[in-house]
Copies of this chain bind each other. A is one copy, B any other.
Amino acid sequence: MRPEELPEIRHLHLFRDMGQANFESLMASSYAQNFPQGLEMIRQGDPADFLHIVLEGSVELFAQWSNRECTMAVVRPVATFILAACIRDAPYLMSARTLERTRIILVPASDLRAMFRRDSEFAVSVINELAASYRSVVRNAKTLKLRNSRERVASYLLRQSLLAGGAASYILPVEKRLLASYLGMTPENLSRTLRTLESDGVKLDGPRVIITNREKLTALAQPDRLIDGPDDIADASGSALPKIS
């Protein structure tokens, strides 16, 4: 691990409040690894041996069942993922693959579990992280069950605009086929939906999103703080898709 990377990790909410010696101890047993693009580094069902921290690149979390698969989330630097599995000492519920060349820190799950018993500040951080993650998935489930695909697309585009500082134009952070899977629809359906949304205030030019009529788009998406955030505590780690640990 490079020395300049430690502060980046230390800055995460999860590690921010723990004792310095404990943080160093945890990092001492961790190690970095670089993965090429498209590598499946976690397979669902495998035992959760390491907490993963993305330092560079990006990672897709996806789930599989009966020859089908779907994207659950995309994790971007600097953020952790699969915390819950590590804590439960249980099999991963999701697989993970790199979307590009990606640098990851691997923190042994056993050390992690020992640490939050030793460092009560860290325990509080873990509690907060898990509670936030839980709420994030609940929001996700709500959008899946309460909105149809058109509404999900509209609210996604609007939310991304807000993440881009309310910009009227921005670049989609992920490929459309991945976005389609994340939103629970087929690429064809997403493509068609995007076209029909042109009459509702948003236009696509390749990967570029141009919001032409924010009021109209908002009326369709009906953004809701209890689904789309912003979440209670400011997170703003600039991830393209909701963060999942």
Tell me the chain A residues, 101-127 only, with Cβ under 8 Å from chain B. 116-117, 120, 123-124, 126-127
Known: A93-B135, A130-B127, A138-B137. A146 touches B87 (CB 8 A): no
Binary contact track A156-200/B, C-beta < 8 Å → 1, others 0: 000000000000000000000000000010000000000000000
Among A4-12, A27-35, A51-59, A60-68, the stretch in contact with B: A60-68
Binary contact track A117-155/B, C-beta < 8 Å → 1, others 0: 100100110111011111101111110111100000000
User: Is there contact, CB below 8 Å, between B138 and A93?
Assistant: yes
Q: How far is the CA of A138 from the CA of B91 in the complex (A)?
A: 13
User: Is there contact, CB below 8 Å, between B90 and A145?
Assistant: no
Q: How far is the CA of A142 from the CA of B93 in the complex (A)?
A: 9
Q: How far is the CA of A227 from the CA of B44 in the complex (A)?
A: 11
Known: A127-B116, A226-B44, A232-B91. A141 touches B141 (CB 8 A): yes
Within the complex, which residue of B72, B88, B128, B146 is in contact with A66, where a contact is CB–CB below 8 Å? Answer: B146
Q: How far is the CA of A144 from the CA of B84 in the complex (A)?
A: 20
Q: What residues on B are CB-neighbors of A127 within 8 Å?
A: 87, 116, 123, 126-127, 130
Give the distance to chain B from A126, nearest Cβ to Cβ, in Å.
5
Within the complex, which residue of B126, B145, B226 is in contact with A144, where a contact is CB–CB below 8 Å? Answer: B145
Q: How far is the CA of A76 from the CA of B184 in the complex (A)?
A: 30
Besides the known contacts A45-B226, A88-B131, 16 further A-B residue pairs in the complex with CB atoms under 8 A apart: A65-B224, A72-B141, A84-B135, A85-B135, A87-B128, A88-B132, A88-B233, A89-B232, A91-B225, A93-B138, A93-B142, A94-B138, A117-B120, A123-B127, A127-B130, A134-B134
Q: What are the nearest 3 A-B pairs in CB distance?
A: A90-B232, A130-B130, A65-B146
